[in-house]
Each structure stands twice: as structure tokens, then as C-alpha cells.
Amino acid sequence: MNDPAPAAGQVTLTLPDGSHRTVAAGTPVAEVVRGISEGLLRRAVAVELDGELLDLVTPVRNSGSFRILFARDARALAVLRHSAAHVLATAVRRLRPEAKIGFGPAIDDGFYYDFEVDEPFTPADLEAFEEEMKRVAAEASPFEREEIGLDEARVRMADDPLKMERIADFDEDEVISTYTNGDFVDLCRGPHVPDTSHIRHFRLLSTAGAYWRGDSDRQMLQRIYGTAFFKAKDLKSHLHRLAEAKRRDHRLLGRRLDLFRFHPSAPGAAFWTPRGTVLYNELLAFERALQKDDFLEVMTPLMYNKSLWETSGHWGKYRDDMFLILNNESGTHDASLKPMNCPSHYLLYQATRHSYRELPIRYVTFDVLHRNEVTGALSGLTRVRQFQQDDCHCFIAEDQIASEVAFLMRYILDFYATFGLDATINFATRPEVRIGDDALWDRAEGGLLAALEETGRPYQRKEGDGAFYGPKIDFDITDSIGRAWQCGTIQLDYNAPERFGLEYVGRDNRTHRPVVIHRAVSGSLERFIAILIEHFAGDFPLWLAPEQVRVIAIGAHAIDAASAVRDRMAEAGLRVHLSPRAAETDFREEIKDASNLKVPYMAIVGSREAEAGTVSLRARGAKKKQVTLPLDEAVGRLRRESEERALWGAAGTMEPL
RNA sequence: GCUCUGGUAGCUCAGUGGUAGAGCGCUUCCUUGGUAAGGAAGAGGUCGCGGGUUCAAUCCCCGCCCAGAGCUCCA
């Protein structure tokens, strides 16, 4: 049925059940909701009108689909948090009247508000603000909306220079609104919850500097971050998640589990300990095994003359991010450490003639890369200056795009699945600033999209998010506590083959341009290991664990038997350790040490085991529960679990019993 | 890069204008115990680096280095 055409001055709203309501244009949303039911009005938080979020005090201006949002709706949460930001500003203004207000939006996990103050806020200030916010909420002041003209806005916000600056950006005919709750007025687009009493379950989390409008040339404001929820239990679980993330912090676990460390002499570059190096190499070994049939591993120089970077185009705009090398004879910086592998692979490809019969050629490299990240960007293993990528460049004929992309996607997803990681897929299209004509982009995007569709995997489009040289597919992995990390990528590149004059000889005996696909799976191995540490909380599956088994001898008389167990397991290829001072140490301390290092299994050998030719296996986290097995059987099970790369706790593994 | 906060033993941290402490770890000895910290003794510190103020600086001031949090998901 067609929507009835509204009379002049009227708008028609289509409710989710398909029914229509016609009201006078300018009727407040609350009146519309009340017209449906008083009960709904009591529970309504906001509404969606043709997808636009409106609160109850906003006038309805246009016809469209009309849906009431309740506390359970995800979009309602953003409204609540925006209002929480206003409650925060209300509290700050009461306690620090001199604070100038900036912006205070809802963000993914909460909200923030920026203030201009002479002295930065302290943790004690935050506590005071939080207490004051409770009072503001208890007052249950309604959020009142007022629509005003530009001149009036200037008068109202005269005392707030930051708001005045925002006002200066408005067009003459724009609808400008203010929201008032109690004694606090803010220039604000809305929407808001009906009154401050909705802000019940919130927490201020942190404070930090933030540039006004994100511009590092402008003044630094003080930003307060917080979060808010409709339900106490949602707030609680969010705070729990934050605590969980802190507990899993790879920088702390990296020290505690003795995996890597940093030294001021080499900022942004990790020192891998013996244990960490095992982990790193196991990851590499896994990827080498996975790729051995379809990829060609190569090694290329780490240092190049600047002419290469001039060809690639990096010398111009990327030079500040490269580590340049001083030529002592000329006194100039005319070489650099490589920040990426692409040009190396192009040079290698180009060094010989290639036939169409060879394609696709997939060069993959784990070479060390250096990027001169600014100091403020460095963070643990997730943002470093020296790292290795599992970096692959596929040289293909243009008609191989679809099959190649499908192949690469399967490979990438299989790789993640080994770690129990799932990925969401993003398809990024041509950006504003780009090279190549539209016809080329049409072909590139079409080819990539067709390949993506063929896999049947769900994906999201990210318009304009592609690389300047081509569209791409990005993989965001989701870890065990629900955080997303951008890791893998498949990028189509028509430009590089042109720049580097890449060729292959076709069936027609003429030269053709290949297309290049850039592929990374883990992004950087360093960062991927950081993700794995946090994903597993340091409880690595057996195959990845730096030390797989710790042999514990109960009493000095069991030392010989324990050594025999250690030797037998080591022969079987397990990474096993028996403390050299086990004979002098309380075995309970050995158990403590193994537990703290999160060693997956302890093999306990006392007089009973020594006599019976058995070991008692105690799985990580299993406390006193253990299983006693003949030594060979124990070795067999551990080997199988390791070789199958079973996830810790997966069915069929020996997992925490 | 910029703002704020921090840097004390291998780790986690306390402390002071008169050159420094704890717990864990480490070393040695005792204990040989059936499932997460047995007992005793000992070693270990340019208090991040450089400069300044002071009779005296780990502490106060300045600079640098390193680390942590953050740096428009737009009124």
C-alpha cells in the first residue's frame, strides 16, 4: 500500500507495523509517541525517523519510517552516553566554573568531554566530578531543546570561546539548537535522553590531553573519558572487560612470561628472550609449513639506494618515516633501511623474464623492516620501529584476479582459524586522492568484489577507504574478549607494475603487464604475537608454548627417573625442561614456577611413577587434578596435541581436565 | 611530534635536602617433602642521563633519554 500523501503542513509517519500516523509538522516527538501509547512514552528513549536519531523533544519535520528506541536498542546507548557527557560537563562547571567547554560526543565505548582549563585534571578531580554527576542525575532535570538563530547563539555562547568558534562555522540557514539541563546550557545538536535521571550507571575512566579539533597546532584541552549504560550489569561487564584487557596486557605478560623486553638503547625494537624466540620461530615455522606448496619464500636486501625509493615514490612523501643512512664520502643521506618489501620483490621479479605459464608467482618474505615511527606512537609490540611482516606479492595476469583473491582469502582465514580467531571482512573502495583512471578502478573493484562475492563470506563496504593505488580487502580479527584488530590485507595494485615496468610474456609471445596483489596475513609478526598473547592471556596452545612440559621430581631420589622422563620427551621433540636444581628445591616451588610461567603441562615424577614407569600429567590450571599414564602414552598424547596444533581446551586434547 | 604523568635492586614498589628500604627473584647452606611460596645466611643500587641551586641533591630547578595515557567516532 502506498503512503497516503500528507496534506500541507502535515507529515506522515510509518510505524514498524506498517500503520501510518499523520501529525502536524513541528509536533514534538514525545507527542507523537504519546499518541501511540502513554506506556510507550514512559519507556521511550529516542526515536528513529528515516534512520535519523531524534529525541523526544525534537519537532518532527519530515515524513518517514518511525521507530521508537528503548533502552535495549544499541543506538539508544549512544544517546544515553551523549547525555552523560552533558551531565559530566554540568558537574565540571559546578566545581570548576572557569572551565571552558569544548566538544562532548558519545564514542564507541562511552563518551568524552573536552575542557579548556589552566591546570590539568587529577584523579581526585575525576572522583569529585563523578560524585557531582550523581547529584546532577538525582536532580532529574529534563533536557530542554531550544532552536535559535545564529545571532542568538552568539549571545548565549559568548563566554565560551570554543563554542563561538564552532558557531562561526555554521551556515546562515542551519538549524542551531541548545540543550539545557538544570543550570547547564550547551550548544548541541542532540539527541538526548528525556532527563538526567537516566544517567545512572556510569564511570569516569581517564583523563588526558587532546588538541582542540585534533589539530596539534591548536591549544591542548583536557579530555575526560567515561562510559555509561542503561543497566548496572552492562556497566559491570564493561568494567570487567577493561580489567580483563589489563590483565592480558602483552607488555606485562611479555615480562612475566619472559618472552621479550625493551631497552632504552633501542626504542621501538624488541629484544626476544630465548623463550620468546621459540614462540616467534614456532609462529614462523607454522606459516612456512602452511605456505610451502603455493608460495616462494625469498630474502632481499634490507638497505637500498635512494634511487629505488625515488622509483617507488616513497622518497618524496615517506622519507621522514624511513631510517636514512649517511654516506660518509658524500656526506649525504642517499640510502635507507627498507620500510616495506614491495620494491624488493619487484626488483627480484624483474630480474628475469617470466612466462604466463609461471603465474601466479607469489614471493613471500619475512625480512626485517624499519619504520621511523614518532616516539609518541610507540607502544609495546603493537607499534614498533623494527618488525617483520609475512609480506607477499602475487604477480598475476589480470584474468586471474578472482581466483587469486579467493585463494588468498581462504589461506588467510585458515591461518586465523588455527588460533581460534575469526575475522570480519571489509571491502575498501577508491579513495578521494588516488592514481589511475576510473575505468581502471572499475575493473579493479569489480574483480576484487566478484572474488569476494564468490567466497560467500559476509563483508562490509568501506567506501573511499582503499589504498591510493587500488582497492583492498581488510581482515579484522576478533580476539577472545571481543576486541577487533586489523591484521590481514589483500590489495590490488595496477600502479606498481607500471612504475616498475613489470612484464610477463603471454601466450601470444608478446609482453604484458601483470597485476600485483599485496598480501599480509598477520600484519607484523610482532604485533600478531602481541595479539596472540592477549587473545590467549598467555595460555598458549601446546604447539606455541615456549616450554611445553616442565618435569617435576618429588624428592631427590626421583631425580634419575625425572631425568629419564625429560630425555624421553626431548627425544620425542617436545620442548621439555627439568630444573637443574630440582634436587635441592622444594618441588612445590617448582610447581609454582611452572604455573607462573604458564607451562601447559607438568610431568610429575615421584617414587610411585618411577617404579611403575609412568608420569603424572598436570595440565595448566588443573590444580591438583592430574592423570597418571605410562610414559610412552603420555609422550604420544602430547606429541599428537602439539603436531595437530590443537587449541588449548579443544575437544580431544588433554586440556585442564 | 605535542600535552600530562612517571623512571629508586633482575621484577613489583615504599622512602628521604644529610649518598637508601621491603617483598619476590638470585647465591650458599640446611630441609628430600606427593601437588602454588619450608628455614637460615648472603650478594646485589651512578636512585634514567647531563647541567644548575645548595655546605650538602636520589629528593628542588632546567635540558635530554626512555616508558605510560591521550591527541575531532565532529556543535
pLDDT digits (tens, 9 = 90+) for A167-218: 888 887 788 999 999 999 999 988 999 999 999 999 999 888 899 988 888 8
Contact call for residues A427 and A452 (beta carbons, < 8 A): yes
Angle at CA A391, nearest 5°, toward A386 and A395? 150
Write the DSSP string, A90-108. HHHHHH-TTPEE----EET
- Ordered by where they begin, the domains of chain A are 10-70 (3.10.20.30), 75-238 (3.30.980.10), 260-302+338-536 (3.30.930.10), 549-643 (3.40.50.800)
Q: Which residues in chain A, range 82-111, keep a C-beta under 7 Å from any nucleic strand B atom? A: 82, 103-109
Q: Which residues in chain A, range 264-283, keep a C-beta under 7 Å from any nucleic strand B atom? A: 264, 267-268
Q: Which nucleotide is nearest to A174 (CA to C1')?
A: B75
**Band of residue A225 on the pLDDT scale cut at 50, 70, 90:** very high
Exposure class string for A542-575: b at 16+ Cβ within 10 A, else e: bbbbbbbbbbbbbeeebbebbbebbebbeeeebb
How is the beta sheet containing A52-54 ordered, strand by strand? A20-24, A10-14, A64-69, A46-49, A52-54
Calpha distance A434→A581 (Å, rounded) = 64
Distance A205 CA to B60 C1' (A): 32
Q: How far from chain centre, in Å, is Cα A440?
A: 31
Q: Which residues of A are catalytic?
A: 342, 371, 389, 391, 393, 472, 518
At residue A656, the pLDDT reads 45
Calpha distance A56→A68 (Å, rounded) = 10
Which residue's C-alpha is at the least distance from the C1' of B70?
Answer: A208
Q: A266: Cβ–Cβ under 8 A, 6 or more apart, which residues?
A: A386
Q: What is the mean pLDDT of residues A72-89?
A: 93
- Tens of pLDDT along A454-469? 888 899 998 888 888 8
Residues comprising chain A, all counted: 657
Average pLDDT, chain A: 91
Q: Which nucleotide is nearest to A78 (CA to C1')?
A: B73
At residue A7, the pLDDT reads 66
Of A373, A419, A379, give the one whose Cα is nearest residue A254: A379
Distance A377 CA to B69 C1' (A): 12
Q: What is the mean pLDDT of residues A415-420?
A: 95
At residue A4, the pLDDT reads 53
pLDDT of residue A657 exceeding 50, the answer is no
Q: Which nucleotide is nearest to A177 (CA to C1')?
A: B75
Write the DSSP string, A342-390. HHHHHHHHHTS--BGGGPSEEEEE--EEE----GGG-BTTTB-SEEEEE
Distance A253 CA to B20 C1' (A): 30
At residue A651, the pLDDT reads 59
A188 C-beta less than 7 Å away from strand B: yes
At residue A468, the pLDDT reads 84
Proportion of chain A above pLDDT 90, given as a percent: 65
Exposure class string for A187-210: b at 16+ Cβ within 10 A, else e: bbebbbbbbbebbbbbbbbebeeb
> Which of strand B's nucleotides are less than 7 A from any protein C-beta?
1-5, 7, 11-12, 25, 27-38, 65-75
- Cell matching residue A107: 564514542
**Band of residue A359 on the pLDDT scale cut at 50, 70, 90:** very high
Q: What is the mean pLDDT of residues A579-603?
A: 92
At residue A602, the pLDDT reads 95
Q: Which residues in chain A, range 451-510, keep a C-beta under 7 Å from any nucleic strand B atom? A: none
Of A238, A206, A208, give the one whose Cα is nearest residue A220: A208
Contact call for residues A120 and A207 (beta carbons, < 8 A): yes
Q: Which nucleotide is nearest to A623 (CA to C1')?
A: B35
3-state secondary structure of A321: helix
At residue A465, the pLDDT reads 87
Proportion of chain A above pLDDT 70, given as a percent: 98
- Tens of pLDDT along A101-131? 999 999 988 999 999 988 788 777 888 899 9
- Cell matching residue A347: 626488483
A580 C-beta less than 7 Å away from strand B: no
**Band of residue A46 on the pLDDT scale cut at 50, 70, 90:** very high
**Band of residue A559 on the pLDDT scale cut at 50, 70, 90:** very high
Distance A507 CA to B34 C1' (A): 74
Instruction: Read off the amino acid at residue A389.
Output: Q
Task: Name which of A4-8, A467-471, A558-562 the model is least confident about.
Answer: A4-8
- Kindly provide the ipTM of the predicted complex, given to two decimals: 0.92
pLDDT of residue A654 exceeding 80, the answer is no
**Band of residue A1 on the pLDDT scale cut at 50, 70, 90:** very low
Distance A209 CA to B18 C1' (A): 39
At residue A440, the pLDDT reads 85
Calpha distance A329→A331 (Å, rounded) = 6
Q: What is the mean pLDDT of residues A500-516?
A: 96
